[in-house]
Amino acid sequence: MERAGGARGLAEAGLGGGGESGVPAAGAVAAVLPAGGCGERLGGPTPKQFCPVLGRPLISYTLQALQRVSWIKDIVVAVTSENMDMMAAIVQRYRHQRVTLVEAGTTRHRSIFNGLKALAGDHPHSRLPTPTVVIIHDAVRPFVEEDVLASVVAAARDHGAAGAIRPLVSTVITPSADGCLEQSLDRAKHRASEMPQAFLFDVIYRAYCQCSDHDMEFGTECLHLALKYCHTKAKLVDGSPDLWKVTYKRDLYAMESIIKDKISQQICVVADTEEDAECIAFLQGLLKKELEVQGTSVTLCPNGQDLQKIILGDCYNFVCINMKNSDFRPPRQLLAGLASAAPSPFYPVAVVSVYFLDSQNVSLSEKMKEVMEMKDFAKEVKKQNVFFYGVLIHFPQFLTQKDKTFPSLWIFFTRKSSSFSGKLGSIDDRPKRSSYLDSALGFC
């Protein structure tokens, strides 16, 4: 068993979501995450919990969701021995906190039991305190929210066990031995048992200790074990659709789109002059209307503290409008700031820097030298998950003209940004996209 973790945690950095708001009344809470599956239903060689989504392994999203909840004191992850190093590297890279790795068993129940043992102090090297309540969650349900975690924990305190449920999407049937319909269950009388679930630690640990080999081998339901071995009737809590389990390739697609949607709703506009306030306000309005961006902020090139605040506010998209300068100093400062200020590389940061270049006054070949330098610099910051896109516009009349082509141009740039980290994959984006491409045509 090894305790893994980077130097700074999300909770410490203030990203802890609801903080103490939903904290259960008394006693410590821990979580166990079985992650030893091989993901055979996904059809690829990589177990689904390690599949990259926007470049980051699925399980890292789930860990982030759990560690945002400050009252979950320990998170025990059960992984197979061959994936142990990879998992430790993920914890390191994404600076996950309060995470302990244990070896997975050959089945889901055995993996969970190994996790519980680490919390029970049965493991020789374990130094984890035994919690009052333990949450059991799936590594492949990345969108779990604090409110549902708080609900199952509260219900577990009262009832000994609790689990999230959802309505059935399909009717459930019983096949006969010869592959015919034996019985069809009334959909209204049944529910799908989802995750998270929570238990008084004593209840679930006692249940696992008594568990038969058959249960360990073929069982899938923790609530069932609590009922069978401890006569504890779990309280059922309605969960949200977001709790669904990433099972098939289509679920990875869906997950990616959901994340893109979330992180594309914030764009920070950076201008190098305060003089053109009217123009910036116009751009803000446009972003809201055309891209459904929920929040935008305007600032002169931010640094240090300011930058950290922006990132902590879940804003990963920057559009830099360079009106006054045609050199690359301002974006260089911003990129350097981002590379150091970003608290963790959870999502890629996209920076689109826009220049209006009057080719009658500036030598193009000189400019190209600078561009090449910026490309090298962009390669450097990319290693820290900061993606830099630069656009030069050769259009001498532009700065004086400000005609109707102006708005289309703005959309072009901002959409480029969100194409990377957001909107381009989303539904009914097509008509908008074609219009920006049309207008881009005239300016390439």
Which among 128-136, 202-210, 229-237, 275-283 is the span making contact with a copy of itself, rule CB under 8 A?
Answer: 229-237
Q: Given the complex with a copy of itself, which of 84 and 371 has the nearer CB atom?
A: 371
Burial track 116-143 (b if 16+ CB lie within 10 A, e otherwise): bbbbbeeeeebebebbbbbbbbbbbbbb
Using the rule CB under 8 A, is 45 a contact of a copy of itself? no
Residues 376-395 that bind a copy of itself (CB under 8 A): 378-379, 382, 387, 389-392
Is 209 an interacting residue with respect to a copy of itself (CB under 8 A)? no
408 is an interface residue for a copy of itself by CB under 8 A: no
Site stretch for a copy of itself (CB under 8 A), options 9-17, 253-261, 270-278, 282-290? 253-261
| Among the residue ranges 84-92, 104-112, 312-320, 416-424, the one whose residues contact a copy of itself (CB under 8 A) | 416-424
290-322 in b/e form (b: 16+ CB < 10 A) is bbebeebbeeebbbeebbbebbeeebbbbbbbb
Q: In 3D, which of 266, 282, 271 has the Cα closest to residue 423? A: 266
Long-range contacts for 68-71 (Cβ within 8 Å, ≥24 apart)? 68/10, 68/11, 68/15, 68/16, 68/17, 68/146, 69/16, 69/17, 69/18, 69/22, 69/146, 69/149, 70/11, 70/16, 70/17, 70/19, 70/20, 70/23, 71/20, 71/22, 71/23, 71/24, 71/29
Structure tokens at 103: 């070896």
The region of 100-108, 251-259, 289-297, 313-321 touching a copy of itself under the rule CB under 8 A is 251-259
**Residues 45, 181, 278, 305: which binds a copy of itself (CB under 8 A)?**
181
Residue 427 binding a copy of itself, by CB under 8 A: yes
Window 122 to 151, contacts with a copy of itself (CB under 8 A): none
For residue 352, which amino acid is it?
V
The region of 2-10, 13-21, 168-176, 335-343 touching a copy of itself under the rule CB under 8 A is 168-176
Which residue among 106, 184, 210, 294 contacts a copy of itself (CB under 8 A)?
184
Please state the closest distance from residue 356 (CB atom) to a copy of itself, in A. 13
Asked if 434 interacts with a copy of itself (CB under 8 A), we say yes
Asked if residue 170 binds a copy of itself (CB under 8 A), the reply is yes
Could you give the 3-state DSSP secondary structure of residue 23?
coil
What is the smallest separation between the CB atom of 134 and a copy of itself, expressed in angstroms?
17
Scanning 14-94, the segments in alpha helix (DSSP H) are 58-67, 84-93
Length of the chain: 444
CA dist list (Å): 414 to 170, 273, 291, 387, 421: 41, 19, 9, 14, 11
Judged by CB under 8 A, the residue of 3, 93, 123, 245 near a copy of itself is 245
**Under rule CB under 8 A, which residues in 67-126 are in contact with a copy of itself?**
none
Binding piece for a copy of itself, criterion CB under 8 A, among 10-18, 87-95, 303-311, 426-434: 426-434
Smallest separation (angstroms) from a copy of itself to the CB of 98: 28
